[in-house]
Structure 1
Amino acid sequence: MSVDLSVVVPAYNEEGRLRPTLDAICAHLRAEPGRWGDWELIVVDDGSTDATAQIAKEAAADEPRIQLVSGDGNRGKGSALRLGVLASYGRRVLITDADLATPIEELDRLDKQLAAEDSAAAIGSRAHPDSRIEVHQRPMREWMGRMGNRLIRAVAVPGIHDTQCGFKLLDGDKARAAFADSRLDGWGIDVEILRFFRRAGWPVTEVPVRWSHQAGSKVRPLDYGRVLLELLRLRARAVRRVDLAVVGLFVLASVLLYKNLLADLDRGYLADSGQDQNQWEWFFAVTADNVAHLRNPLFTTLQGFPDGVNLMANTVMFGLSVPLAPVTLLFGPTVTWALVLTLGLAATASAWYWLIARRLVTNRWAAALGAASAAFAPPMISHGNAHPNFLVLFMIPVIIDRALRLCEGRNVVRDGVLLGLFAAYQVSLGEEPLLLASVGMLLFALSYALVRRDVAQAARRPLLRGLAVAAAVCLPLIAFPLGWQFFGPQSYKSVLHGDNAGNSPLAFLEFAGRSLAGSDEVADPLALNRTEQNAFYGWPLVALAVAIVVRLWRLALVKALAFTGLAAAFLSLGPKFRIPYTDIVLTGPWRGLAHQPLFESVIESRVALICAPVLGVLIALAADRLVVSRDRVSQVVGLAAVAAALLPVLPTPYPVRERSQVPEFITQGMYRSYLGEGESVVTVPLPNPGSAEALHWQSATGLGFRVAGGYFNGPWGPDHIGIYGATPRHTSNLLSEVRNSGRVPTIGPNWQAQARFDLAAWKAGLVVLEPQYNDAALYATVEKLLGRPGKRVGGVWVWDVHDPKDSVRTDS
């Protein structure tokens, strides 16, 4: 059946308006028979309870090209349109409401635009600047409709200004494909169809039209809210069961890894976290406290007193610590710490899964395997001991996807704005991961551009425009926080990490301490510490990656991934590196970056983290091809090789030790009677990166006192070089040395004077010594420094700095 134009009119209880509408449509189409050719007019009765169906039958008796399609009861506009469009045969399909709020004569505009623009759809747009609104709705109704339309545009179809106009001319075959795929029965059908066209890459053009509000219209302002609900339900139904299963498995894997910590949050402490768990719990606690009391969240004097801590210059993760402040206040910072680690790791894996499944492979389980390889890679597990800012990376795949959308050039402004917002949020989660991700994306872009210059040429202009938009959005949002970080109180220029912070080439071939085939005895000599095992992918996985690259070398994507992974691994070796088993030391490429702004604070071995998603994508590509291979032998051998490479690097649960209890002197608030206004507690030794229990005392008891010293990043010296901890003083150095050696030094008047000077600088109110390693030597040292014995109070030794006689009530 050959039909040039189909007109579809949905109708529900339209007996008062339907016949004039049908007569007007027929008259217009008959007026120029040569232009419109063979046409049909389909009336869809959506279960009307009046004479709508009878009127349509009478019109069909007068005009054979009119036909009536009846629905199964009143199911909504979406159901009616679906029935009508799927019953049509036209080369083009016009959809119009029964009230003809847009006159049928406006079909001429849509028809000309559709032909001129070679579009798949031309929609009558009341929001077009050249449209003419002849009869307006009531002002409040019009305003509510406009706000609802903006919400729908933001959620579903950005870039289209009038999503709900019922006057549309569509390519017939494409319209039938879109409506066959549609699921909504209500007003949301218009948005669902537009989304289908946009996702299919079919151009949609908005055309100015005349429009008049019709009395008795069935569209109400609240219907925009119903459209939003329908779209949300549609998205929920679009989620595949396999997607939910994969995310559930990621959550289960994270819980199993942290099961020892989750089993006893009151006393459990990650054994390999050093003092970082104390530090992070303190970060969460102080941020929640600042939020609750409406204080500046970027600064505090609770540690490092009296100078304080520039929190923006530390990895406080405001993007999570602020929204999770209610959790911290209600359940304590340890709960927040455990939630961030567990759910953050699962969220990162889920984000990589979303990106890989969306852009790279068709098999969902292949995408899941690749995502798991990226998120649960040995370096990630190492940082999972103590560095949630390097574990919670769910925004990185989202940023990568948005950058790829910019390259497509479909909606540069929208994608640029979103990229800017995403980047600003990632800054609030971690700046160094964003910097490393940017390095990885730049390496990939350069290598892909060399392989596919045609693609690079087409993507160059929209990408640069989008990045300019992103910068215009991002920079104002982060300007003040970054200004505070780099120029505010207690800011610093760079962080001293010491020499040999790069990876050994051997580290890429060995197994991490928390890998199934690894051991701490092998891994420890090749890493800074157990939280910085930034390579350790293992020789089987490296060999598998080489085999995949060789097998899939014809793909430009694989070539770019190979270059990115090799370049990142090479950069991570540091400014210089030694060839294994020789005394030959070579200069590494990191030397050119080591003293550049931003890069000067990066631990270079962390650049190897870029290799994790590279390996994950390679594994996903290989698995995706293996599962559909018709060569059963190759399929079995290939999958077995993947399993053999991944099995040795499977992570094992994090070990936990029992943390020391907070002394009764702190938990019972006994310290309060010793502290005057603006005074601090001096613990022995002072809290530092090697011993920061005092931070746990604070965070576990409501942050009721300040401490001198601390574990944070702060400035040191006239050049404000960044160091870990507060600026050291002679007395703090002395106490740390005694703690480490167990030897009591000779204390004379000079040391005693220095101690008085340092205590005054710290504005100390009391000195506290808890039971610990070498506490006898520490007690003797403090007794000599202060010239009097301490008093045993609440399970600790106490020296009252105000009262030389130290007349306080002691333990019985």
Structure 2
Amino acid sequence: MTTPAGPVELSVVVPAYNEEHRLAPTLDAIRAHLGDSCAWELIVVDDGSDDETVRVAKEAAARDARIQVVVSDVNRGKGHALRLGVLASYGRRVLITDADLATPIEELDRLDKAMTEGETAAAIGSRAHPDARIEVHQSRLREYLGRMGNRLIRAVAVPGVHDTQCGFKLFDGEKARAAFADARLDGWGIDVEILQFFRRRGWAVAEVPVRWSHQEGSKVGAADYGRVLWELARLKARAVRRVDLVLGALFLLTSVLLYKNLWHGLGRSYLTDSGQDQNQWEWFFAVTADNVAHLRDPLFTTVQNFPDGVNLMGNTPMLGLSVPLAPVTLAFGPSLTWALVLTLGIAATAYAWYWLFARRVSENRWAAGLGGALAAFAPPMISHGNAHPNFCVLFVLPLIIDRALRLCEGRDVRRNGIVLGLFTVYQIFLGEEVLLLATLGMALFALSYALARRDVARAAIRPLATGAAYALGVCLVLVAYPLYWQFAGAQSYHSVLHGDSAGNSPLALVEFAGRSLFGDDATADKLALNRTEQNAFYGWPLLALAFALVVRLWRRPLVKALAFTGVAAAVLSLGQKIRIPYTDVVLPGPWKLLAHKPLFESVIEGRVGMICAPVLGALIALGADRLAHSGVRLNRAAGFTAIALALLPIVPTSFPVNARPEVPEFIASGMWKKYVGPGESLVPVPLPDPGSAEALHWQTRAGLAFPVPGGYFNGPWGPDRIGIYGASPRWTSNLFGDVRSGKPIPDIGTDWQNQARADLAYWRAGVLVLEPQPRAPELYETVARLLGRPGTKVGGVWIWDVSSVR
């Protein structure tokens, strides 16, 4: 082929296979319509014809230098021919049309007008549009089968497009060449593949009604729609690129290395920094599996906090995972489920962020993978990875964000609205507080992007509102009862108060976390509530790099929105009172505006800083993508070195573990069964609470066969039903807790004994159990005085049979 002498406004690509009789009139018609201007080219691609098609095409090219001929040695299909032709084109716009001109070339003017007026990236001819004119019909059977096939293709591949297979399409030239270079299909399915590519990039496509006539001898039949579906199935099977597999494997490997100590001693290892949360979460997984196995209500149980019970919807059992994983829990125990949820969940989260960044932020998939890794393995996520899977297993959030963006683009509003609603429902059953924080982050981003691109915001309002209405409708239908139970059912509560000092210190934003490569626990402990709430700690090198990227890429609206979102989230995370480091100055924080609003009143405000993780991930993806496309080797080397130096200090280290306490023989061997009858509870001394919940592990080892009073959960306290951690205190539970904490044993007389009887009766106690522990002698003496008799040593513990006392 020869290179055009000047700029080409239009390239027309005509694929041809055994078209010796129809090709010459088609080329003459196209030349006549385009006229004598030199600003067009016509590319005929022979797809391995075994007739005189090549000769006819070359004779036409000999008469007009604007006609080019591309020849394929073998017949590989229409898709292959189109790819050759489009990649050989130079036009500002590219028209593809079939050799039979079933759609007359004059319809080009309609497509060109639609692209110009609508500012779209493509305009496709549509026979299915209500205003289309079918001048010569196919047979009724063939037409019916074709219509059904097209509907099926629309449903599974390109929703919203009425006619995917019409061979008359006009594209922006550069975008067409990018799409066809990416295409893999050689057959009829390439039309759908190209439209999917445009949808993924967010490039608008107009569907234009055209005139169409069935041509005798057409090679397209109803059966070809089946071939299209088959090709699409093959494409789906091959769609996972090598980089996708490599990144997925790297994310999983990273997660496995983080939890290698937990897996090494599975069932015997306990995450050192998880406090009592590992016991609690394993209990959540166990009780959900038990409820599923016995067809009980998964939203409530009396196995803990007996006899009042626990509102599971008002806690965080992650029903979206604990229910489908119930067979795993029942077969292998909750310790395996706990390790699986953490390990696979964080890896899946990294992949989900990578997927979103690859679709929306970065063309370079390695750059997107780097951003996804930062979003999922950032220090706050690693901190919550000690104990809070609901705050680090976030793979649904990128899916929610993507659907919301599709609505903003006006793409298939009803379908995407419904899917958004389903994703939102699923996230509710994974973690509601995370969903609230994600919504806050999305609102900050939307506000800032709207200020940067008012035209985009105006166009997005209506489809977004409509889609949100569909999503809300889905949510109301599916979660109305669970949410009613959460806020008005048994053991529901109104809010969990954390005080006004739960925000991040400004220093926490620039320091390194305890589990970061350059961090240490001593420094981080001074700046966080505890080791599971290190909600910032991004480190000064990463923040400095982010600032440099924002300055360098400031012209991009996306960067402006990301910068605003990150800064706003960081400031909100400082809480109601911002204490200026190294001074006595305390300033009011903007969180005060939200602190007492419904839903927000239960949020630990420091967690708002977690919004910065995907923001920083997106910025890093943008920066790495820009470097990957840089033509200056020195710039690439310096840029990637800066990224490496910024990320190296916050590389996470493996979670430490310690050996969990052995379950007493009295529990493990089943000796307890002689002392706990139907409707009775086993009362550990002291009662389990958020500071000491080993009794929950006893329950999971015993298959939840006995209930316990007290426990570690969120429940109501007092007439106002304020949310607290643990059970509402009683005189006897408070007494045991005081003695355990080191307070002296009070003078126990008749009043104390009568109160103990009342409390044991309330708990329907069958037996009191005191295991070896610090201050066990003082606790033994307390129980002996309350009951007026000594205990009995059975199975390595002291017990008091109290069934008769009640």
Shorter chain as denominator, the TM-score bin is: 0.7 to 0.9
Q: Aligned partners of 2:232, 2:270: CA distance in 1, in Å?
A: 45
Per-residue CA deviations over 1:715-758 (Å, capped at 9, x if unaligned) read 11111111111211111111111122164332212111111111
1:203 and 2:206 aligned: yes
Q: Check 1:202–1:532 CA distance in 2 against 1; reply closer, same or farther (3 A cut).
A: same
Q: Check 1:516–1:724 CA distance in 2 against 1; reply closer, same or farther (3 A cut).
A: same
Q: Aligned partners of 1:173, 1:744: CA distance in 2, in Å?
A: 84
Match of 1:231 among 220, 232, 235: 235
| Residue pair 1:299, 1:309 contacting (<8 A) in 2 also | yes
Q: Aligned partners of 1:366, 1:337: CA distance in 2, in Å?
A: 31
| Residue pair 2:47, 2:77 contacting (<8 A) in 1 also | no
Q: Quick one: which amino acid aligns to residue 780 of structure 1?
A: E
| Residue pair 2:690, 2:712 contacting (<8 A) in 1 also | yes
Q: Check 1:76–1:642 CA distance in 2 against 1; reply closer, same or farther (3 A cut).
A: closer
Residue 172 (structure 1) shift: 8.4
Aligned to 1:598: 599
Which residues of 2 match residues 483-502 of structure 1 at below 5 A? 483-502=484-503
Aligned to 1:309: 310
Aligned to 1:15: none
Q: Aligned partners of 1:85, 1:521: CA distance in 2, in Å?
A: 62
Partner SS for 2:317: coil
Compare 189-198 and 480-489 and name the one that shifted more: 189-198
Residue 774 (structure 1) shift: 1.6
Residue 261 (structure 1) shift: 0.8
Q: Check 1:212–1:387 CA distance in 2 against 1; reply closer, same or farther (3 A cut).
A: farther
| Residue pair 1:261, 1:268 contacting (<8 A) in 2 also | yes
Compare 194-203 and 471-480 and name the one that shifted more: 194-203
1:340 and 2:344 aligned: no
1:169 and 2:185 aligned: no
1:683 and 2:684 aligned: yes
- The alignment's TM-score, normalised by the length of structure 2, stands at 0.84
Q: Quick one: which amino acid aligns to residue 235 of structure 2?
A: L
Q: Aligned partners of 2:674, 2:228: CA distance in 1, in Å?
A: 62
Q: Aligned partners of 2:190, 2:628: CA distance in 1, in Å?
A: 37
Which residues of 2 match residues 773-812 of structure 1 at below 5 A? 773-803=774-804
Q: Quick one: which amino acid aligns to residue 279 of structure 1?
A: Q
1:731 and 2:735 aligned: no
Compare 365-374 and 121-130 and name the one that shifted more: 121-130
Q: How many pairs were matched up?
A: 777
Q: Aligned partners of 2:548, 2:124: CA distance in 1, in Å?
A: 50
Q: Quick one: which amino acid aligns to residue 617 of structure 1?
A: A
Q: Quick one: which amino acid aligns to residue 170 of structure 2?
A: D
Aligned to 2:437: 436
Q: Aligned partners of 1:194, 1:136: CA distance in 2, in Å?
A: 28
Compare 286-295 and 221-230 and name the one that shifted more: 221-230
Partner SS for 2:735: helix
Q: Aligned partners of 2:595, 2:57: CA distance in 1, in Å?
A: 81
| Residue pair 2:142, 2:222 contacting (<8 A) in 1 also | no
**Structure 1 spans left out of the alignment, 5+ residues:** 12-17, 48-52, 98-103, 806-812
1:291 and 2:292 aligned: yes
Compare 647-656 and 241-250 and name the one that shifted more: 241-250
| Residue pair 2:500, 2:577 contacting (<8 A) in 1 also | no
Q: Quick one: which amino acid aligns to residue 776 of structure 1?
A: P
Aligned to 1:360: 361
Aligned to 2:481: 480
Q: Check 1:299–1:205 CA distance in 2 against 1; reply closer, same or farther (3 A cut).
A: farther
Q: Aligned partners of 1:84, 1:587: CA distance in 2, in Å?
A: 64
Aligned to 1:703: 704
Compare 451-460 and 727-736 and name the one that shifted more: 451-460
Q: Aligned partners of 1:721, 1:232: CA distance in 2, in Å?
A: 51
Q: Quick one: which amino acid aligns to residue 310 of structure 1?
A: N
Per-residue CA deviations over 1:176-198 (Å, capped at 9, x if unaligned) read 88666542244533422433455
Q: Check 1:57–1:260 CA distance in 2 against 1; reply closer, same or farther (3 A cut).
A: closer
Which residues of 2 match residues 47-62 of structure 1 at below 5 A? none
Per-residue CA deviations over 1:34-84 (Å, capped at 9, x if unaligned) read 77989999897889xxxxx679899999x999x999987775665577689
Partner SS for 2:443: helix
Q: Check 1:229–1:634 CA distance in 2 against 1; reply closer, same or farther (3 A cut).
A: closer
Which residues of 2 match residues 407-486 of structure 1 at below 5 A? 407-486=408-487
Q: Quick one: which amino acid aligns to residue 338 of structure 1?
A: A
Which residues of 2 match residues 43-442 of structure 1 at below 5 A? 78=79, 92-95=95-98, 107=104, 114=111, 117-118=114-115, 120-125=122-127, 135-137=139-141, 146=148, 152-163=153-164, 165=165, 167-171=166-170, 182-196=183-197, 198=199, 199=201, 200-205=203-208, 219=223, 223=227, 226-236=230-240, 239=241, 241-442=242-443
Q: Check 1:571–1:206 CA distance in 2 against 1; reply closer, same or farther (3 A cut).
A: same
Partner SS for 2:498: coil
Partner SS for 1:722: strand
- The alignment's TM-score, normalised by the length of structure 1, stands at 0.83
Q: Check 1:412–1:697 CA distance in 2 against 1; reply closer, same or farther (3 A cut).
A: same
Q: Check 1:742–1:211 CA distance in 2 against 1; reply closer, same or farther (3 A cut).
A: farther
Per-residue CA deviations over 1:264-304 (Å, capped at 9, x if unaligned) read 11210000100100111111112222223332211112111
Q: Check 1:209–1:794 CA distance in 2 against 1; reply closer, same or farther (3 A cut).
A: farther
Q: Aligned partners of 2:506, 2:719: CA distance in 1, in Å?
A: 37
Q: Check 1:85–1:786 CA distance in 2 against 1; reply closer, same or farther (3 A cut).
A: same
| Residue pair 2:508, 2:536 contacting (<8 A) in 1 also | yes
Q: Quick one: which amino acid aligns to residue 771 of structure 2?
A: E
Partner SS for 1:706: coil
Residue 582 (structure 1) shift: 3.0
Aligned to 2:7: none
| Residue pair 1:46, 1:77 contacting (<8 A) in 2 also | no
RMSD across aligned C-alpha pairs, in angstroms?
4.2
1:666 and 2:667 aligned: yes
Q: Aligned partners of 1:267, 1:228: CA distance in 2, in Å?
A: 48
Partner SS for 1:375: helix
Q: Aligned partners of 1:737, 1:303: CA distance in 2, in Å?
A: 21
Q: Check 1:431–1:6 CA distance in 2 against 1; reply closer, same or farther (3 A cut).
A: closer
Q: Quick one: which amino acid aligns to residue 490 of structure 2?
A: P
Residue 584 (structure 1) shift: 3.0
Per-residue CA deviations over 1:321-373 (Å, capped at 9, x if unaligned) read 22222222222211111111112222222222333333333444443333333
| Residue pair 1:408, 1:462 contacting (<8 A) in 2 also | yes
Compare 770-779 and 785-794 and name the one that shifted more: 785-794
**Structure 2 spans left out of the alignment, 5+ residues:** 5-9
Q: Check 1:86–1:370 CA distance in 2 against 1; reply closer, same or farther (3 A cut).
A: closer
Q: Aligned partners of 2:518, 2:89: CA distance in 1, in Å?
A: 64
Q: Aligned partners of 2:519, 2:29: CA distance in 1, in Å?
A: 83
Q: Quick one: which amino acid aligns to residue 280 of structure 1?
A: W
Residue 33 (structure 1) shift: 11
Q: Aligned partners of 2:287, 2:429: CA distance in 1, in Å?
A: 16
Partner SS for 1:666: helix
Q: Aligned partners of 1:106, 1:138: CA distance in 2, in Å?
A: 18
Q: Quick one: which amino acid aligns to residue 367 of structure 1?
A: A
| Residue pair 1:683, 1:707 contacting (<8 A) in 2 also | yes
Q: Aligned partners of 1:206, 1:286: CA distance in 2, in Å?
A: 59
Aligned to 2:530: 529
Q: Check 1:695–1:210 CA distance in 2 against 1; reply closer, same or farther (3 A cut).
A: farther
Q: Check 1:598–1:35 CA distance in 2 against 1; reply closer, same or farther (3 A cut).
A: same
Q: Check 1:580–1:791 CA distance in 2 against 1; reply closer, same or farther (3 A cut).
A: same
Q: Check 1:296–1:127 CA distance in 2 against 1; reply closer, same or farther (3 A cut).
A: farther
Residue 390 (structure 1) shift: 0.8
Q: Quick one: which amino acid aligns to residue 168 of structure 1?
A: G
Q: What percentage of aligned pairs have identical amino acids? A: 62
Per-residue CA deviations over 1:508-543 (Å, capped at 9, x if unaligned) read 233222222322222223221111111222333334
Q: Aligned partners of 2:87, 2:511: CA distance in 1, in Å?
A: 61
Q: Aligned partners of 2:12, 2:520: CA distance in 1, in Å?
A: 73
Q: Aligned partners of 1:369, 1:142: CA distance in 2, in Å?
A: 47
Compare 401-410 and 341-350 and name the one that shifted more: 401-410
Q: Check 1:263–1:57 CA distance in 2 against 1; reply closer, same or farther (3 A cut).
A: closer
Q: Aligned partners of 1:211, 1:701: CA distance in 2, in Å?
A: 73
